[in-house]
Amino acid sequence: MLKINKINNVTCAQGIVEDRERFSSVMVYLMDGLLIDTGSPSLIKDFIPFFESEDFDQVYLTHHHEDHTGGAKWIQDHKEKPIYINEISVDICSREGDYLPYRHDVWGDREAFQAKPLNSHFSTRTSKWEAIPVPGHAFDQMAFLNYSEGYLFTGDLYVTPKPKMLLREESVPDIINSLKRIQNYDFTDMFCGHAGHVPNGKEMLKKKLDYMEEISGKIMNLHAKGYTPEEIKAQLLPSKHPLVEISGGEWDTLHFVTSVLSKVELNN
């Protein structure tokens, strides 16, 4: 199912995957002839009429995850528009998506496509943009800033101000660095890959920064007192969320602890 709404000159298309137990959604944005992200492979039937009817010149992908790159192959084959991504994941995109079965169940099978390395500064029909590296959720993640409106398209940098769990590949120290870097930019509204339009985007990203720094500090304190990662998790971030088991531990609160401690050990 697709829900479309307009915020000023941004078209926001929310693709919703419905299955028995879960409800997952992902955003695709269109502004000034620029398509940002392409939804998941499991939503391609819903997105095709949108891609067919909307007028765009180029596609920028925030990161390589299958819920953001799922429509790229269809666009490549049917619209012949250039597709850009961080150059470090051009190679990953040129192969079929390689991820765990539970993600194939929800998001589908991401087909291979040919992306080009994105430019750090680029133009659309009437405006200028900057691509800002914001790794942490994914190593290749970029945010796209539209200078004229002060709009920031953040992929999965935000999602929620207080994440309950992290993916194994996520890094709290990298997320903190990215959230700090983004505070130096001039923007108001945020367009998140899952949470949609957030009018007070800069403020909400600061809230997430504060939360991640607080958690990180507590983890380091307990580590200094000699607690093990499992003990720190049990004390600070106990969780019985079903996704831990469904994902075979790819999602877990433990990844907060291990990612913070891996940087502590590097610095020692």
Query: Applying CB under 5 A, which residues contact Zn ion?
Result: 65, 156
Minimum CB distance to Zn ion, residue 163 (Å): 12
Q: Which is nearer to Zn ion, 153 or 261 (CB)?
A: 153
| Bridge partners for 130 per DSSP | 121, 145
Q: Which is nearer to Zn ion, 93 or 261 (CB)?
A: 93
Minimum CB distance to Zn ion, residue 65 (Å): 3
Minimum CB distance to Zn ion, residue 138 (Å): 5
Q: Which is nearer to Zn ion, 25 or 261 (CB)?
A: 25
Q: With helix as H, strand as E and coil as C, how does the chain read?
A: CEEEEEECCEEEEEEEEECCCCEEEEEEEEECCEEECCCCHHHHHHHHHHHHHCCCCEEECCCCCHHHHCCHHHHHHHCCCCEEECHHHHHHHCCCCCCCHHHHHHHCCCCCCCCEECCCEEECCCCEEEEEECCCCCCCCEEEEECCCCEEEEECCCCCCCCCCEECCCCHHHHHHHHHHHHCCCCCEEEECCCEEECCHHHHHHHHHHHHHHHHHHHHHHHHCCCCHHHHHHHHCCCCCHHHHHCCCCEECHHHHHHHHHHHHHHC
Q: Which is nearer to Zn ion, 27 or 254 (CB)?
A: 27
Minimum CB distance to Zn ion, residue 216 (Å): 21
Q: Which is nearer to Zn ion, 65 or 208 (CB)?
A: 65
Q: Which is nearer to Zn ion, 113 or 261 (CB)?
A: 113
Minimum CB distance to Zn ion, residue 256 (Å): 17
In the complex, residue closest to Zn ion by CB: 65
Minimum CB distance to Zn ion, residue 243 (Å): 14
Instruction: Write down the residue that tokens 């108001």 correspond to.
Output: 188
